[in-house]
Amino acid sequence: MKLEKFDPRTIFYTTVIYIATLSFIKKSCQILILLPIIFYHISLFSINLDKLKKLLKYSFGLLLSLIIINYFLMGRSFEYIFISVFRLMTIIILATSLVSTLEIREIGFVIEKTLSPLKFFRVPIESIGVITALSFKFVPMLQEEAERIILAQKARGIDYELMELKEKIKNIITLFFPVVISGIHNAINLAISMEVRGYGNGIVRTRLKNYNFLKKDYLYLSFSAFIFTIFLLLYHIV
């Protein structure tokens, strides 16, 4: 099945359910049960492999520190470390795939529908949905800006790979200010564009596409909830 055959809420909720399910894994054999389900769920996404490779590359230090701390400092078993590494990598892959696959309007739609009960308390749900959806998409923009600055520095003779660690950290810190300033400029331009298009004027907006739960959405949500329940029971039994 492809992503467009499911409601965006189904993809979002089931992803959250599987991420929560990962926290209840206690034995490595339980990974064999969950792994095919995770693979099927990931197949629903149109994953950008280049971005995923970069993220896993940047996460290597975090995974290595996780192994060192758990084994040398806390004396954890190999099984515990293996489960922790699997849990972290799966969360990274699921979260990255979700954010890179769903469009901004779909993320905003999911958040609005999830928080819709707060309308009774006059909470601006639509504004929260738009702001949250944009924040998910804004992080890759900052990452791309940082990569452009690094490439410009390399063109001017600055090579991070030839630097010592102390000098490399110092130069990376200097990237913070231009990236933040560029992000602020982009945010201002985006805010002006949204204001011109009528956001925030109190008028109820129409949607380009309406989403509705179908039978397959209820079935997949029920299946995901069933898997979550099974692992929750195993967590307390085993």
Lowest mean per-residue pLDDT among 45-59, 105-119, 134-148: 45-59
Tell me the pLDDT band of 80, cut-offs 50, 70 and 90. confident
| 60-64, 87-91, 132-136 — most confident range | 87-91
pLDDT for residue 124? 78
Residue for token digits 């800006």? 145
pLDDT for residue 2? 45
Tell me the pLDDT band of 221, cut-offs 50, 70 and 90. very high
pLDDT for residue 17? 95
Query: pTM score, two decimals?
Result: 0.74
Contact partners, residue 66, CB within 8 Å, separation at least 6: 81, 84, 85, 88
pLDDT at 32 over 80: yes
Query: Do residues 44 and 2 lie in contact, with contact meaning Cβ atoms separated by under 8 Å?
Result: yes
pLDDT per residue over 142-193, tens digit each? Answer: 777 777 877 777 777 776 666 676 776 677 677 777 877 887 888 788 778 8
pLDDT for residue 222? 95
pLDDT at 1 over 50: no
Alpha-carbon span 88 to 96, nearest angstrom: 12
Lowest mean per-residue pLDDT among 24-28, 56-60, 132-136, 216-220: 56-60
Tell me the pLDDT band of 48, cut-offs 50, 70 and 90. low
44: which 2 tokens? 């629903």
Alpha-carbon span 64 to 87, nearest angstrom: 14
Stronger pLDDT, 107 or 51, i.e. the higher one: 107
> Domain extents for the chain?
1-102+212-238, 103-207
Question: Of the candidates 107, 70, 111, 100, which has an alpha carbon nearest to the alpha carbon of residue 88?
Answer: 70
pLDDT for residue 220? 92
Look over the chain and give the mean of its residue pLDDT values, rounded to a whole number: 80
pLDDT for residue 201? 61
pLDDT at 84 over 80: yes
